[in-house]
């Protein structure tokens, strides 16, 4: 894909229109069958070809229509944002909010299941406890996302604890060069103590905020097509996802910056405060069959 590619490809224009519920477009990004039943107003974004015979939107087919090579075919969730962006733009006049779920994750203002002992503001819930409704996923809210994690030493430090700092720095260079990250914001990006899991896109957000963050992802992914970046440990199942790790933090930074520009003071937030108007933070729920038995969240099982 090049920067001159036009949206509205033949592949996308031939897809069914999105179901819109009270001005909101709902999406579930999944590489396998979701752990919960999807009502008809949630559009399934298939990143793994498991739903080839259904009405799911297929990310691989979308990318092929642009002769676009995924950064890593095993991790198409990043590229799924490009397809969702295009689908939303097609019906922009009818959409004022975007809600995103993952195959086993969703954000809700209502707690289900049990609290994860090793992950702030996460609930672990059994599949039998989940019935997806618009009310559960945010209802009429303009904004519902996971409460931010706080790392006093900053995002660069947090990345380096679990991942490889050389990947962070190399990807930051690409992001600055393609203006997915303003050069003057680089130090703020590294030292900001707040990270919203999923970058803030998992949950319900205003459509303009979604489109802004999606455009930053698009810039970076396009730039990576012609860059020489390769994860320092590309063959490692965990570290090979360096681009995904970086994009989560990049989106979170743009998301939080936009929130601050609209008056939210993150330093005033408290985990005990459920409702901070006009912004609302809830709990991310991870579905696991043995939620009631094991209160620990294991990242490798996502």
pLDDT tens, residue by residue, 255-279: 999 888 877 766 666 655 443 433 5
Task: Provide the pLDDT confidence category of residue 4 given band limits of 50, 70 and 90.
Answer: very low
Does the residue 203 lie in any domain? yes
**How far is Cα 202 from Cα 27, in angstroms, rounded to an integer?**
10
pLDDT for residue 6 is more than 50 = no
Q: Which residues contact 236 (CB under 8 A, 6 or more apart)?
A: none
Does the residue 239 lie in any domain? no
Residue 208's pLDDT is what? Answer: 95
- DSSP secondary structure, the chain, as one string: --TTPPSS-HHHHTSPPPP-BTTEEEEEEESS--SSPPPTTEEEEESSSTTTTTTPEEHHHHHHTTTPPPS-TT--HHHHHHHHHHHHHHTGGG-SEEEEEETTEEEESS--SEE-TTSTTEEEE-GGG----TTTTTTT-S-EEEPPEE-TT-HHHHHHHHS-HHHHHHHHHHHHHTTSS-GGGHHHHHH--EE-GGGG-BEEEEHHHHHHHHHHHHHHHHHHHHS----TTTTSTTGGGHHHHHHHHHHHHHHHHHHHHTT--GGG--TT-SEETTEEEEEEEEE-TTTTT-----GGG-
Does the residue 220 lie in any domain? yes
Which candidate, 147, 123, 239, 243, places its Cα nearest to that of 195? 147
Decide the pairing of beta strands 149-150 and 279-287: unpaired
Report the Cα 207 to chain-centroid distance in Å.
Answer: 14
pLDDT > 70: percent of the chain = 84
Residue 89's pLDDT is what? Answer: 94
* Tens of pLDDT, residues 168-178: 999 999 999 99
Question: Mean pLDDT across the chain, nearest whole number?
Answer: 85
Q: Which of 152-161, 208-217, 227-236 has the lowest mean pLDDT?
A: 227-236
Residue 36's pLDDT is what? Answer: 94
pLDDT for residue 47 is more than 80 = yes
Does the residue 118 lie in any domain? yes
pLDDT for residue 220 is more than 90 = yes
Does the residue 59 lie in any domain? yes
Task: Provide the pLDDT confidence category of residue 301 given band limits of 50, 70 and 90.
Answer: very low
pLDDT for residue 302 is more than 50 = no
Does the residue 176 lie in any domain? no
Most confident of 74-83, 146-155, 210-219: 210-219
* Tens of pLDDT, residues 182-206: 999 999 999 999 998 888 899 999 9
How many structural domains compose the chain?
Answer: 1
Query: Are the beta carbons of 159 and 168 closer than 8 angstroms?
Result: yes
Does the residue 160 lie in any domain? no
Domain of residue 206: give its range: 10-145+195-227+247-266+275-290
Torsion angle of alpha carbons 168, 143, 301, 298, nearest 10°? 80
Residue 16's pLDDT is what? Answer: 76
Does the residue 234 lie in any domain? no
């Amino acid at each position: 894909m090049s920067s001159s590619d036009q949206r509205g490809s033949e592949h996308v224009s031939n897809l069914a229109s999105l179901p819109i519920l009270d001005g909101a477009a709902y999406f579930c990004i999944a590489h396998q069958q979701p752990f919960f039943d999807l009502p008809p107003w949630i559009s399934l974004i298939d990143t793994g070809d498991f739903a080839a015979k259904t009405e799911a939107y297929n990310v691989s087919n979308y990318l092929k229509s642009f002769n676009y090579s995924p950064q890593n075919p095993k991790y198409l969730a990043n590229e799924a944002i490009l397809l969702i962006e295009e689908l939303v733009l097609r019906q922009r006049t009818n959409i004022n909010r975007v809600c995103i779920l993952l195959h086993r994750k969703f954000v809700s203002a209502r707690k289900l299941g049990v609290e994860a002992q090793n992950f702030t503001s996460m609930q672990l819930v059994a599949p039998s406890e989940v019935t997806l409704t618009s009310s559960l996923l945010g209802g009429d809210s303009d904004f519902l996302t996971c409460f931010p994690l706080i790392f006093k030493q900053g995002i660069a430090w947090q990345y380096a604890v679990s991942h490889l700092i050389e990947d962070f720095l190399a990807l930051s260079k690409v992001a600055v060069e393609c203006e997915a990250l303003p050069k003057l914001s680089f130090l703020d990006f590294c030292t900001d103590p707040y990270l919203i899991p999923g970058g803030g896109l998992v949950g319900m957000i205003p459509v303009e905020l979604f489109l802004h963050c999606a455009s930053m992802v698009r810039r970076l992914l396009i730039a990576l097509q012609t860059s020489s970046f390769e994860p320092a440990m590309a063959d490692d199942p965990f570290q090979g996802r360096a681009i995904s790790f970086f994009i989560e933090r990049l989106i979170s930074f743009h998301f939080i910056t936009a929130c601050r520009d609209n008056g939210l003071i993150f330093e005033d937030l408290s985990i005990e405060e459920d409702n901070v108007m006009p912004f609302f933070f809830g709990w991310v729920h991870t579905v696991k069959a043995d939620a009631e038995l094991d209160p620990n969240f294991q990242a490798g099982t996502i």
